[in-house]
Structure 1
């Protein structure tokens, strides 16, 4: 199980990255994260929707209600231009962290 602090910290860039590929709704986002993580990230509604509402309030994503092909009403989310800029900023930060950890862990600088 992945530490909840790491799950929380990664939720924004994960959501923005998925929505940058195309609009989606809550349950599909949860499923996509589960798929991308090989089942290691198990998001719940209670974790996802506060983040979506925060991103929407910050103007990074937009939401609209529509009827799905199954006839159910769903709230679809899409990333907007400010969200694209924030995603680029988040990506730079995460890549810097990734490269630092990679250097430590893969070069033997950090004993296991």
Structure 2
């Protein structure tokens, strides 16, 4: 098992989730016994800009989109969905802000991937 003192802070959170048998390898989180790949934690994602190595976290998109609506999507760079969300909020008197958070995670994740960002577990320096 990887020593948590040698990991980055965001990796320690993941290490605690997979402490029952997961190890961190170059391929990501792996099951120590079977060697199968473990899924990433569902609370958030990390993306790396390959041009400069900058890391951006997407944590709890449901909550932030529920609280801030289209402004959260704009802040994360998903401009087309931010405009759509804002345009839908006007005729529905804001009711669309109760529906859009269910899709916020996939919207933001897809937005980063389309802009060329790489998931942190797949990025190599």
- Please, what TM-score do these two structures have when normalized by structure 1? 0.27
- Please, what TM-score do these two structures have when normalized by structure 2? 0.26
Identify the structure with the greater helix proportion: 1
